[in-house]
Amino acid sequence: MKKILYAVLGLAAALLIAITSLVTLVDPAQFKPLLMEQVKKNTGRDLVIDGPISWTFWPSLGLSLEQAALRNPAGFAEQDLVRFERGQASVAVLPLLSRRLQVGEVSLEGAHLFIQTRADGSSNLTGLTRSAQGGGASTRAPGQDESGQASGPEPWQLAIESLSLTQASALVIDDRNGSRLQLTRLDLSLGELKPDSWVPMTFSLNGEHQGLTLAAKGGTRLRLGRDLASSELEGLTVEGKLAQGDTRLDRFTLGADRLTLGQWSQLGVSAQGRQGELAFDLTASLKGRLDGAQSLLDLADVTLDGVLKGPDLPRPEIKVVLGAEGQWAMASKTLTLSRVALGADELQLAGNGSLIMKDIPGIRFDLAAERLDLDAWRPTKAKEAPVAKEAGSKPVADKGAGKAAGSAGLAATGEAEPDLAWLKGLDLAGRLKVGTLIADGVKAEQVDLALAADAGLVRITGFNARLFGGSAQGEGVIDARQQPATFQVHKQIAGVDLQPLLQTLAQTDLLAGRGSADIRLSGRGLSSHALRSQLAGTLDLKVEDGALHGINLPQMLREARATLKGEKAREAGEARKTDFSALTAHFRIGQGKASSDDIRLLAPALRVEGKGSTALVPETLDFLMATTVVETSKGQGGKGLEDLKGITIPVIIGGHWRQPSYRLDVKGLLADNQLLEEKARKEAERGLKKLLGDKADDEQIKGVADQLLKGLFK
């Protein structure tokens, strides 16, 4: 046992003596030119060491140096590519006896890294891994010069196994777009840098870029080529978080199997976070390939799926999916997508699109959907306005609360204008085709919509659809560059079944038939109140083979006949409607009402001319319809009106859109109707003759009767 102990102590003493002798005999300062030479040989850059190089003994034998920097080529914003205040490297002992400096891990503390890409695309990383001039390794024997003669002691050889940066910082500048990325902390571990060899690398960083804060970590394997373009990455994994304004990614991941110029790579991305009150959880995968010129990035098998949640969404939770192929053009900053399949719950869109990155991103699209039900995407319930104060509480002078309460009140009464400020940041143009579109209960088919939006100006350049058995087409403009917004609309409908249309839009069945209309409208303001009170324009209406529901004009005329004869009108079991062959009208819209003075209705036994107006805000009616009997032998209710043929009988239409009222204008009937007055005079004369006999011819009696008739028809 003692022999073993003596042997161990002897070896330890020998090793201690050897290390002491080595440290005493080997001056680390002689490594300075060696390090500078090897760095110059392998990178083409100058290594500057201003501080001392010394031995370290803990935790292992090694070297430390201070105040060192790797220079940039001329023409860059900072002098150094990387600099540090202190570096340390572990050194193998035995190779030193053979004049070989075999370094394990090189650790740099407090380093600063600077990377710049100039406007021409060149970088201070370009050519960093170039090989020594002249190519192959030397074939000289140890101790010989180039002529093969003895040249003194064998030169030192250097090998570095790995590199690590701790508590470093970095600045990355891209002069092509003026961007700056500041890394406040960077930790990097890199294996032995050898051209055409795979080197493991791990990193973690914290940084900021134009208001965006980032924290990330990851790892990969790096193969350095002759230049940056020929280098490769494989097994890339990155995870982290970021935030900018009210947008944050609580966690994101990025993965790639291999990144090589000109070769397809499989990439995967995931993100979970929030934007304001909108929460999202998204996962995407794609294949990408960047061409050798680094000008085009091809994208294939792009898939995205995820979930959106938030109180401002039309639904509490929406599932979204996306599939596409595409290409990103570096020079024009344009993303072109083809074979797009976009889904949100049951909504499915397909087509093509593009995105042009500029101050206001430009969106172009050509999409189609089999079915789009906008009513199904309305919020399930409106947000409740906050309670102003509890019962018995004292009012508080809070201007902000008063403003909020006022806004809530405006919204409740339909006077609040929609916020269209987001349109000012929109550059969009395209076409949308929908097989079946449902909006406000209206079902339209074969919808074809073309629109463009540019900085708040929205143009509907074409709209065509089939609805209610007819067709509709139109165009319009919304100018949201001012508040409130203004608009202009020109719409034409033809052959539309009016009764179901009116039941859907106005909850009334007053009018039926095949209708056509030419509508030209303009206004200022898009609130419910403004759309009616500020609306201006014209409406030309034509209806064929229709009916007025709720009124039976022939029956009302028979009631008028009975009234004139002093008889009681007989009750009729006919439906309360008036059939007609044609109805035409020209309406002028303005100051909150729609007015017309040339309403014409042609019925089998009647001719009707009317005028009047409807108030758009209270939805009231005020029309006077002058009805004339022109035929009594046929048609709806023609019989029994022989005595009224040629007589104009006024009918007043009033009430509400949903509950209209109809009544005879008896005063008007008697005040301005010569034919009726003449018939009444003859009837009066016959009655007097029958009642008084020859005395009826007395001039005095005739005068009294005439005065009574004149009083009646005033």
From 2-16, 61-75, 414-428, 567-581, the region with the lowest mean pLDDT: 2-16
Q: Which of 575, 636, 589 is nearest to 608 (CA)?
A: 636
Closest by alpha carbon to 424, among 372, 370, 472, 478? 478
Which residue stretches of 534-663 are H helix? 553-564
| Cα-Cα-Cα-Cα dihedral sign, residues 346, 352, 358, 360 | negative
Q: How many Å apart are CA 656 and CA 1, to the nearest integer?
A: 118
d(CA 341, CA 322): 6
pLDDT at 137: 39
Q: Residue 12 corresponds to which tokens in the numbers above?
A: 């330890």
**Long-range contact set of residues 640-649: C-beta below 8 Å, sequence gap at least 24:** 640/558, 640/561, 641/554, 641/557, 641/558, 641/561, 641/605, 643/561, 643/679, 644/557, 644/560, 644/561, 646/675, 647/673, 647/675, 647/676, 647/679, 648/673, 649/556, 649/557, 649/560
Alpha-carbon gap, residue 442 to 436, rounded angstroms: 10
Task: Give CA separation, 116 vs 51, 103, 172, 373, 428, in Å.
Answer: 27, 30, 6, 52, 35
Pairwise CA distance, residues 571 & 579, whole Å: 19
Measured between alpha carbons, how far is 300 from 321 in angstroms, rounded to an integer? 16
Residue 61 confidence (pLDDT) above 70: no
Q: What is the per-residue pLDDT for 681?
A: 57
Peptide bond into 316 cis (omega under 30): no
Tens of pLDDT, residue by residue over 477-510, are: 999 998 889 999 999 999 999 988 888 887 777 8
Region 362-380: what's the mean pLDDT? Answer: 89
| pLDDT score of 566 more than 50 | yes
Question: Cα separations (Å) of 622 from 149, 253, 501, 611?
Answer: 122, 68, 22, 9
Q: Report which of residues 396 and 175 the model is more confident about.
A: 175
Measured at the alpha carbon of residue 372, what is the angle toward residues 339 and 498, in degrees to the nearest 5? 140
Is there a contact between 117 and 175 (Cβ–Cβ < 8 Å)?
Answer: yes
Residue 109 Rama label (left phi>0; alpha psi -120 to 50; beta): beta
User: What's the sign of the alpha-carbon dihedral 675, 676, 681, 684?
Assistant: positive
What the block records as the tokens of 34 is 């060696």
Alpha carbon distances (Å) from 44 to 36, 231, 696: 10, 17, 137
Residue 227, pLDDT score: 72
pLDDT band at 127 (very low <50, low <70, confident <90, very high): confident
Give yes or no for a cis peptide into 484 (omega within 30° of 0): yes
Q: What are phi and psi of 517, to 5 degrees?
A: -155, 150
Query: Averaging pLDDT over each range in 382-386, 439-443, 694-698, which range is the top one?
Result: 439-443
Residues 6+ apart with CB under 8 A from 194: 224
How many of the other CB atoms lie within 10 Å of CB of 179? 12
How many residues in the chain?
Answer: 714
Instruction: Read off the pLDDT band of 391 (50, 70, 90).
Output: very low
As a whole number of angstroms, the distance between CA 368 and CA 703 comes to 82
Residues 219, 238: Cα–Cα separation, whole Å: 7
- Does the pLDDT value for residue 562 go beyond 70? no
User: What sign has the CA pseudo-torsion 507, 509, 511, 514?
Assistant: positive
DSSP 117-167: E-TTS-BTTTTTTPPPTT-SPP-PPTTB-TTSSB-SSPPPEEEEEEEEEEE
411/403 Cα distance (integer angstroms): 12
- Give 113's Cβ-side CA count (13 Å radius): 21
pLDDT in tens, 615-633: 988 889 999 988 887 765 4
Average pLDDT over residues 201-221: 92
Check residues 674 and 194 and name the one with the higher pLDDT. 194
Taking residues 11-27, what's their average pLDDT?
Answer: 53
Q: Could you tell me the sign of the dihedral formed by the alpha carbons of 186, 189, 194, 195, in that order? A: negative
pLDDT given at position 691? 54
Whole-number Cα distances in Å, 554 to 354, 364, 548, 625, 633:
63, 59, 12, 13, 13
**Average pLDDT, integer, range 73-99:** 76
State the burial class of residue 359 (Cβ atoms within 10 Å of its Cβ: 0-12, 13-18, 19+). exposed
CA distance 567 to 597: 34
- Classified as helix, coil or strand, 701 is helix
Dist CA 322 CA 308 (whole Å) = 14
Half-sphere exposure of 519 (CA within 13 A, CB side): 18
Cβ distance 278 to 262 under 8 Å? Answer: no
Range of lowest pLDDT (166-170, 405-409, 684-688): 405-409
Contact between 188 and 201 (Cβ < 8 Å): yes
| Cβ-contact 527, 416 below 8 angstroms | yes
Identify the residue whose tokens are 């060192």.
68
Using 50, 70 and 90 to split pLDDT, how confident is the model at 103?
A: low
